[in-house]
Amino acid sequence: MIVQVVIVRSIVKDSLTRYIVTPLMRASCSRGRNLLRHNCNKQERTEVISDNLSQPCYCIINGDCLNQKASCKAMRYRPLNIWQGNGASVVVRARESLVHGEGKQLIILIQIKENVRDIMRNPANVLNSLTEHSENLNYKFERLYRILFNEEMYYVAYQRIYAKPGNMTAGADGQTIDQMSLSRIEKLINSLKDESYQPQPSKRVYIPKKNGKTRPLGVPAFNDKLLQEVVRMILEAIYERQFEKTSHGFRPQRSCHTALSDVQKTFSGVKWFVEGDIKGFFDNISHEILIGILKKRIADERFIRLIRKFLNAGYIEDWNFHNSYSGTPQGGIISPILANIYLDKLDKFMKEYTEKFDKGKERKRTKQAVSLEGKRHRILKQLKLVEDENERSELIKQYKTYQQEGLLYSDGDEMDINYRRFKYVRYADDFLIGIIGSKQEAIIIKEDIKNFLHEKLALELSNEKTLITHAENAAKFLGYEISVQKSNDTKRNKYGVLRRVHNKRVQLTLGKDLYKRKLLEYRVLEIKLHNGKEYWKAKSRPKLSNNNDFEILDRYNKEIKGMYNYYCLANNCSSLSKFGYIMKYSMYKTFAQKYRTTMSQIRKKYTKNGHFSVRYYLKNGTAKDLTFYHGGFKKKNPMKIMDLDSLPKFTYYATNTNLIDRLKAEKCELCGAVDKLVMHHVRKLKNLQGKTSCEKQMMARKRKTIAICSKCNKKLSNNE
């Protein structure tokens, strides 16, 4: 973004109070003016100016630092292109800073030709500016804390997170996203300005895990969530471009599928896997190490202190407060980005390790391959000289024999000690390493990683989950079983040359036990043993019998599609058809139990055009049919998910702040009164009964939010 300004007057003065600061300060900054009048310390005066002027912009014009009076006179009354800084500008200062003590500074009074303040405060512009600076790894970010005074950032954050159902769960302060208002944001910003803001301790709850155990989860206060989202956007803009491409967790345009695709693309031919898992990672992150990492790029102490406040907020369990001496906030929005910043050290260590470990351009050829190639070459020479057709046929037959024999052997020597490779992919605290080398080298690599984590990051590898596995066996990563296939199957390429098509390729599979556990988790499977053999039988789900037909069918469809969408990359993805079969007959039995009839009657009643379907009606009376999933379970090619070598640079765009526009309208959406509004939220539309006028309006508009005045809000609170 470029802002055009015109120089009106230029002056060289050591005292800024009389000429520049006083006329341009906001009316609320009388305290700042008084401080300047009675303070002669250069550094302190500069800090006062920076804190009280309306977001100063520091710039260089055409590479000139504006430290010469003559150059300034030449530019006077000429349009200048001034690159955006951290916000709107009414004062432009040369690159030489008063803090550094250069003496007299050139101050330029400018006339703004556009609505610069709105342009420069635009969240997309602010974040993109940070992103551009982040490409310079030596650049240190200063004035980040001032971005938190920009209410536009909170509008975008609110728009991004409002739809999450967890926002309707009260934190330790008893508040939720409900009753959101502009004054609530203003109050939060004011507490940041005087640094009186203190995050609430998260409320600890426990959620069940697949193994029957429970996982602790923190529920932060919504104000903390809102601020954390703003901080997360800032940190993402700074660090996203410095992260390695081997990292896939909690990043834009990346997921479990991109990690698995990377494995299949780059791990071909590996002989050993190292399955990595960091023990209690999120609970054991060292605060001091994390702050030290942040300080290498962030030179704003106030911003660092805010991060430290989040880390030390603690949690409440059974009405007792517990301090947090390590780890990131449980359930906090800021936790994933902080985890990636922390483990970026591991990613860069792995990158350096790869450069040191890799050896040789290609494998040494085997004696068998060299011998067979020589034989084929000699036959080709003979074919050019032989004219007898019988002899030529015999030679061609012999050539094909040698060609087929050559496909039985590897062209490169797999035991070549002068050739080795190191591959690495990470998702959150799980990582997978592929090694072309010996088992002894795999053991050494595991120990090196263990030592690095312990010494540099104060973390430990989980002995139970960090395993060394031969590539022909299945290594487990992100729910998939990963192995390297050995096969002599051949296929002619586009040039007509026979090649082994599957040899040394990575295979992604899902085990039978995986969807078996999922069926047992849904309580749709009954297993009977007969002569030591398992017999699977679908069973009904009595708890769903009280739901309507649409809800029952929709529930089964979502569970089937969710399973297929995640495991669609598996080579044996078609085995999910058994999962779909059990789910289908469980649905039949659930419907039969609900209507106290037989499955055959249910199928006869609901089958339409060969598919099980349920009719439902929209609000306008239009009839539609919801059919049971029948899309099949065809494998998708993970190689086509994304071009992992050239991910697009992450750019921020202006976000539609529809919720804020409705609050700014100051017109109650319920009664039409002109007043300061609050946003009323509900968790789910289907939970509304339509008994009150507010609920009727929300159901009619199909919105989980409604902007209401204080009078309507009071009535709503009293259930009137």
The string of pLDDT tens digits covering residues 617-631 is 876 778 889 999 998
pLDDT exceeds 90 at position 493 = no
Identify the weakest region by mean pLDDT among 47-51, 174-178, 548-552, 606-610: 47-51
pLDDT exceeds 70 at position 538 = yes
Q: What percent of the chain has pLDDT over 70?
A: 77
Integer angstrom CA distances of residue 525 from 236, 489, 573, 629: 44, 38, 20, 19
- pLDDT attached to residue 48: 42
- What is the rounded distance in angstroms from the CA atom of residue 368 to the CA atom of residue 386? 27
pLDDT exceeds 80 at position 72 = no
- List, in sequence order, the alpha helices (H) in 568-622: 576-595, 599-606
Higher-scoring residue by pLDDT: 698, 440:
440
Residue 142's identity, in one-letter code, is E
456 touches 345 (CB < 8 A): yes
Average pLDDT over residues 455-480: 90
Contacts of 215 (CB under 8 A, 6+ apart): 206, 207, 208, 209
What's the pLDDT band for 28 if we cut at 50, 70, 90? Answer: very low
What's the pLDDT band for 60 if we cut at 50, 70, 90? Answer: very low
81 touches 59 (CB < 8 A): no
pLDDT exceeds 50 at position 415 = yes
486 touches 410 (CB < 8 A): no
Identify the weakest region by mean pLDDT among 260-274, 297-311, 398-412, 595-609: 398-412
- What is the rounded distance in angstroms from the CA atom of residue 634 to the CA atom of residue 630? 11
What's the pLDDT band for 692 if we cut at 50, 70, 90? Answer: confident
Helix (H, G, I), strand (E, B) or coil at 387: coil
pLDDT exceeds 70 at position 159 = yes
382 touches 359 (CB < 8 A): no
pLDDT exceeds 50 at position 97 = no
- pLDDT attached to residue 605: 92
What's the pLDDT band for 54 if we cut at 50, 70, 90? Answer: very low
Higher-scoring residue by pLDDT: 111, 486:
486
Closest CA to 338 of 231, 461, 225: 231
Average pLDDT over residues 528-545: 89
- pLDDT attached to residue 57: 35
Contacts of 13 (CB under 8 A, 6+ apart): 19, 104, 107
Q: What is the pLDDT of residues 353-369, one digit of tens each?
A: 999 999 888 887 777 77
Radius of gyration of the chain from its Cα atoms, rounded to whole angstroms: 33
- pLDDT attached to residue 641: 56
pLDDT exceeds 90 at position 176 = no
Average pLDDT over residues 389-401: 86
Hey, which residues does 202 pair with through a beta bridge? 315
Q: What is the pLDDT of residues 374-388, one digit of tens each?
A: 888 888 888 888 888
- pLDDT attached to residue 487: 67
pLDDT exceeds 90 at position 326 = no
Give the count of beta carbons closer than 10 Å to the beta carbon of residue 374: 11
Q: What is the pLDDT of residues 657-673, one digit of tens each?
A: 588 888 888 888 888 88
Most confident of 284-293, 486-495, 616-625, 710-719: 284-293
Q: Using H for helix, E for strand and C for coil, what is the string for 431-442?
A: EEEEEECCHHHH
pLDDT exceeds 90 at position 169 = no
Average pLDDT over residues 196-222: 80
- What is the rounded distance in angstroms from the CA atom of residue 38 to the CA atom of residue 583? 78
Hey, which residues does 491 pair with through a beta bridge? 499
Give the count of beta carbons closer than 10 Å to the beta carbon of residue 342: 21
Whole-number average pLDDT of the chain? 78
- pLDDT attached to residue 215: 73
Integer angstrom CA distances of residue 301 from 19, 99, 304: 30, 16, 5
240 touches 649 (CB < 8 A): no
The continuous run of DSSP H or E covering 355 comes out as: helix 335-357
Contacts of 70 (CB under 8 A, 6+ apart): none
Closest CA to 197 of 152, 233, 145: 145
Most confident of 211-215, 505-509, 579-583: 579-583
Q: Which two tokens stand for residue 586?
A: 């469980």
Q: Which two tokens stand for residue 715?
A: 């009535």
Higher-scoring residue by pLDDT: 201, 403:
201
Q: What is the DSSP letter of 655?
A: P
Phi, psi of 529 (to 5 degrees): -105, 135
519 touches 582 (CB < 8 A): yes
**DSSP-derived pairing of the beta strands 611-617 and 623-627:** antiparallel
- For the chain, the maximum distance between any two Cα atoms, rounded to a whole number of angstroms, is 111
705 touches 162 (CB < 8 A): yes
- What is the rounded distance in angstroms from the CA atom of residue 706 to the CA atom of residue 693? 12
Closest CA to 340 of 429, 225, 425: 429
395 touches 383 (CB < 8 A): yes
Tokens 């956007």 map to which residue? 233
**DSSP-derived pairing of the beta strands 202-208 and 315-317:** parallel
- pLDDT attached to residue 720: 56
Q: Edge-to-edge strands of the sheet including 320-322?
A: 214-219, 202-208, 315-317, 320-322
- pLDDT attached to residue 498: 67
- List, in sequence order, the alpha helices (H) in 137-255: 151-161, 182-193, 222-239
Beta strands in 318-473 (DSSP E): 320-322, 421-427, 430-436, 467-470
Check: pTM over 0.85? Answer yes or no.
no
Interhelix angle 30-37/42-52, nearest 10 degrees: 170
**DSSP-derived pairing of the beta strands 2-13 and 105-112:** antiparallel
Hey, which residues does 110 pair with through a beta bridge? 7
- pLDDT attached to residue 274: 94
- What is the rounded distance in angstroms from the CA atom of residue 570 to the CA atom of residue 481? 9
Hey, which residues does 112 pair with through a beta bridge? 5
- pLDDT attached to residue 485: 80
- What is the rounded distance in angstroms from the CA atom of residue 485 to the CA atom of residue 412? 16
- What is the rounded distance in angstroms from the CA atom of residue 634 to the CA atom of residue 577? 10
- What is the rounded distance in angstroms from the CA atom of residue 168 to the CA atom of residue 388? 88
Contacts of 438 (CB under 8 A, 6+ apart): 272
